[in-house]
């Protein structure tokens, strides 16, 4: 197994690392406190081509794969997890399904605008009664001549406040209550009948946008259907295979930031007449954090490479998210413990990292959903 990166991969990772250190880390506290990402960050991401990292070159993107995206997302999330999830959702949950399921016209229409960051993407699956049970979606799309009429409410939509294009999962066959009767639609933000609803106040990743999105009598042309009618659940799940690798990369970034903060503090903080890093109790924590992060990274990279090879990677993606999200929370917990009382105040970034880490075990499939996906694959 070759663990080395190509020159191009090193270059893109280093570019993301520099941007994260110079532009994201200094703003992370402000993003958290103000509940939004600095507009200059959006411009910077566009200048570096990160909105279009995985969009094909013929559509204005960089034409890279999930592996390079994982490298980039680890770096961005090490600086600011709010920015990290914004970029992850845009690339994995919108750019990816249009590439994988879109018609030539849909790709020509939407991918260039996503690649430039002119339109940011959002993914509308979750509803008040359809969270882990994603097949329980009630939002409906009914035919009216050649058009579709969309009605319903989506919740917890990342990027909801500023997204320019939404992928919306709706029931197109009311006689099929579960996963079978759903379809995917591409809905531009200016569509009449689309309203951005309540913005959530969250425990962590407070700089990212999470909103309700409401659809009322929203008319869509037949060209808005993405993939086959009534096959939307497959689009949703295939898309989440990629998204979960993105959130696993977020876990890596947050966890690594915790390890780096812990090392700095362990060298700096003195108790009993010596730096606390000289005590074995602290050394063991650092060793465990580092080892779990490396193991998680290998799972993330394996899943990304399998997806890039065009193979189904549901098992590997779920394993990588399960492990990396647990590692992020483990590292955040240990980092806070190493910082002691100081870590429980906002004098240090660990309190933000601790809050940001928590969501990685919840969104894009909670930890127990990953276990279900893994177990079903083992038993199949």
Q: Which is nearer to ligand CAA, 113 or 126 (CB)?
A: 126
- The angle at the Cα of 162, spanning 157 to 165, to the nearest 5 degrees, equals 75
Q: How far is the CB of 236 from ligand CAA (least distance, A)?
A: 8
Structure tokens at 246: 């993105």
| CB nearer ligand CAA, residue 91 or residue 314 | 314
3-state secondary structure the chain: CCCCCCHHHHHHHHHHHHHHHHHHHHHHHHHHHHCCCCHHHHHHHHHCCCCCCCCCHHHCCCCCCHHHHHHHHHHHHHHCHHHHHHHHHHHHHHHHHHHHHCCHHHHHHHHHHHHHCCCCEEEECCECCECCCHHHCCCEEEEECCEEEEEEEEEEEECCCCCCEEEEEEECCCCCCCHHHEEEEEEECCCCCEEEEEECCCCCCCCCCEEEEEEEEEEECHHHEECCCCCHHHHHHHHHHHHHHHHHHHHHHHHHHHHHHHHHHHHHCEECCEEHHHCHHHHHHHHHHHHHHHHHHHHHHHHHHHHHCCCCCHHHHHHHHHHHHHHHHHHHHHHHHHHHHHHHCCCCCHHHHHHHHHHHHCCCCCHHHHHHHHHHHHHC
Name residues whose C-beta falls within 8 Å of residue 376's C-beta, 6 or more positions apart in sequence. none
Minimum gap (Å) between residue 174 Cβ and ligand CAA: 17
- Shortest distance, CB of residue 189 to ligand CAA, whole angstroms? 16
Closer residue to ligand CAA, CB minimum distance, 238 or 334: 238
Catalytic positions: 364
Provide the minimum distance between the beta carbon of 285 and ligand CAA in the complex, in angstroms, as a whole number.
30
Angle between helices 81-88 and 350-358 (to 10 degrees): 30
- Minimum distance, C-beta of residue 349 to ligand CAA, in the bound complex (Å): 23
- Min dist CB 210 to ligand CAA, Å, is 8
Nearer to ligand CAA, 213 or 266 (CB): 213
Angstrom distance (rounded) from CA 2 to CA 6: 11
Q: How far is the CB of 30 from ligand CAA (least distance, A)?
A: 22
Q: Which is nearer to ligand CAA, 60 or 232 (CB)?
A: 232
> Of 19 and 363, which has the nearer Cβ to ligand CAA?
363
Q: Which two tokens stand for residue 172?
A: 């197109």
**Which sign, positive or negative, has the C-alpha torsion 360, 363, 369, 370?**
negative
98 vs 125, beta carbon nearer ligand CAA:
125
Residues that bind ligand CAA (CB under 6 A): 89, 123, 125-126, 132, 134-135, 156, 158, 178-179, 233-234, 237-238, 240-241, 314, 363-365, 369, 372-373
């Amino acid at each position: 197994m070759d663990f080395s990166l190509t020159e191009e991969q090193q270059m893109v990772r280093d570019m993301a690392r520099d941007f994260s250190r110079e532009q994201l880390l200094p703003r992370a506290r402000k993003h958290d406190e103000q509940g939004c990402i600095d507009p200059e960050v959006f411009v910077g991401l566009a200048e570096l081509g990160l909105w279009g990292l995985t969009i094909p070159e013929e559509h204005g993107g960089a034409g890279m794969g999930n592996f390079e995206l994982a490298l980039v997302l680890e770096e961005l999330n090490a600086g600011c997890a709010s920015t990290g999830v914004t970029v992850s959702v845009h690339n994995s949950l919108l750019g990816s399904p249009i590439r994988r399921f879109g018609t030539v016209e849909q790709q020509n229409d939407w991918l260039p605008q996503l690649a430039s960051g002119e339109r940011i993407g959002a993914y509308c699956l979750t509803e008040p009664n359809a969270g882990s049970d994603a097949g329980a979606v009630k939002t409906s799309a009914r035919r009216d001549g050649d058009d579709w009429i969309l009605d319903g409410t989506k919740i917890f939509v990342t990027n909801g406040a500023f997204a320019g294009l939404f992928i919306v999962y709706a029931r197109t066959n009311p006689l099929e209550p579960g996963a079978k009767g759903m379809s995917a639609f591409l809905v531009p933000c200016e569509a009449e009948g689309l309203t951005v609803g309540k913005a959530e106040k969250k425990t962590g990743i407070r700089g990212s946008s999470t909103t309700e999105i409401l659809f009322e009598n929203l008319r869509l042309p037949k060209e808005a259907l993405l993939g086959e009618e009534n096959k939307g659940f497959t689009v949703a799940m295939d898309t989440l295979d990629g998204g979960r690798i993105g959130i696993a990369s977020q876990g890596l970034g947050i966890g690594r930031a915790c390890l780096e903060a812990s090392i700095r503090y362990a060298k700096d903080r003195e108790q009993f007449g010596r730096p606390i890093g000289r005590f074995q109790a602290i050394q063991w924590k650092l060793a465990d954090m580092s080892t779990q992060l490396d193991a998680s990274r290998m799972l993330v990279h394996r899943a990304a490479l399998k997806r890039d090879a065009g193979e189904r990677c549901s098992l590997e993606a779920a394993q990588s998210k399960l492990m990396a999200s647990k590692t992020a929370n483990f590292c955040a917990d240990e980092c806070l413990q190493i910082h002691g009382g100081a870590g429980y105040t906002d004098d240090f970034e660990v309190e933000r990292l601790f809050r940001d880490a928590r969501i990685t075990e919840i969104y894009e499939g909670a930890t127990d959903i990953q276990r279900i996906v893994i177990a079903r694959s083992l038993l199949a």
